[in-house]
Amino acid sequence: MNHQAFMVVMGGLAGVISLFAYIPYILSILHGKTVPSKSTWWILSALGGVTFLSYRDAGGFNTSFFLLGDVIGSSVVAFLSLFYGKKSIQKLDIFCFLGAAASFILWFFINENPSIAFCSGLFVEVIAMIPTIRKIVANPFEEDIGGWFLTFLASVVNSYAIEEWSFVVFFYPFYEVGINGLVVFLISSGRKKLLRVNIPFIRMDSSALAK
């Protein structure tokens, strides 16, 4: 297998993992364990098609399969968030929607330049992740670590599919490695911290029951 064929295979594999990563996440939502953020997932699903097209126009072909899987999965989660997401809308959610709307308007006027359009879309994605990251910090048990870990794995695999070392093409895969790695780290470290805090209380309750 030559290097070009290897990159195509890795890109396709990243797309498959990216799509299948949503299976445990969706199951966790349906079982009431994960509470999806409406603002995060609706912005990501609306943004997905725009980012996918502008990224491919900028020269990213092999690495765009990850995006395709992400678009499909985030659209399903966005729909489920209407029924299983948080009922209240907070100020941060409104701020993120306004920021996303402003960036969409900007993209509308500059979409003839794929690189600038992609960077605008990426900025929206960063804004969209803020409510979910805030929610993880507040309660790491409201997010499914399995789904996020698979997405992180997909983003790592996708970094081996980079076929063009232009800024846009190589930056996005490494951005995904960073943001998904951050989410996995926050969920894992947050859960460990809460468990360490609660263990003494669990032991005290057990001692009281024994007496």
pLDDT per residue as tens digits for the range 144-198? 999 999 999 999 999 999 887 777 788 889 999 999 999 999 999 999 988 887 6
Question: So what's the pLDDT on residue 175?
Answer: 92
The residue range of the domain holding 153 is 3-210
pLDDT of residue 113 exceeding 80, the answer is no
Residue 54: pLDDT band (50, 70, 90) is confident
Q: Measured between alpha carbons, how far is 132 from 139 in angstroms, rounded to an integer?
A: 10
Whole-Å CA distances, 98 to 36, 51, 124, 126: 19, 18, 10, 13
Question: So what's the pLDDT on residue 155?
Answer: 96
**Higher-scoring residue by pLDDT: 105, 176:** 176
Question: So what's the pLDDT on residue 72?
Answer: 93
Q: What is the overall mean pLDDT for the chain?
A: 83
Residue 211: pLDDT band (50, 70, 90) is very low
The total number of structural domains that make up the chain = 1
**Higher-scoring residue by pLDDT: 47, 211:** 47
pLDDT digits (tens, 9 = 90+) for 29-53: 999 999 998 888 988 887 777 778 7
Question: So what's the pLDDT on residue 56?
Answer: 81
Residue 93: pLDDT band (50, 70, 90) is confident
Contact 188, 148 (CB under 8 A): no
Residue 111: pLDDT band (50, 70, 90) is low
Helix (H, G, I), strand (E, B) or coil at 89: coil
**CB atoms < 10 A from the CB of 139, how many?**
12
Structure tokens at 158: 């996708």
**CB atoms < 10 A from the CB of 165, how many?**
8
Q: Which of 190, 207, 201, 82 is nearest to 143 (CA)?
A: 190
CA quadruple 90, 94, 99, 103: dihedral, nearest 10: 130
Q: Fill in the amino acid letter for 34.
A: T
pLDDT digits (tens, 9 = 90+) for 58-91: 778 888 899 999 999 999 999 999 999 877 667 7
Neighbouring C-alpha atoms within 13 Å toward the C-beta of 34: 24
Q: Measured between alpha carbons, how far is 93 from 71 in angstroms, rounded to an integer?
A: 21
Residue 64 CA, distance from chain mean position: 15
Handedness of CA 113, 114, 118, 121 (dihedral sign): positive
Helix axes 22-30, 145-158, angle to 10 degrees: 160
**Buried b or exposed e, range 32-58, using 16+ CB within 10 angstroms:** eebbbbbbbbbbbbbbbebbbbbbbbb
Question: So what's the pLDDT on residue 10?
Answer: 94
**Higher-scoring residue by pLDDT: 176, 104:** 176
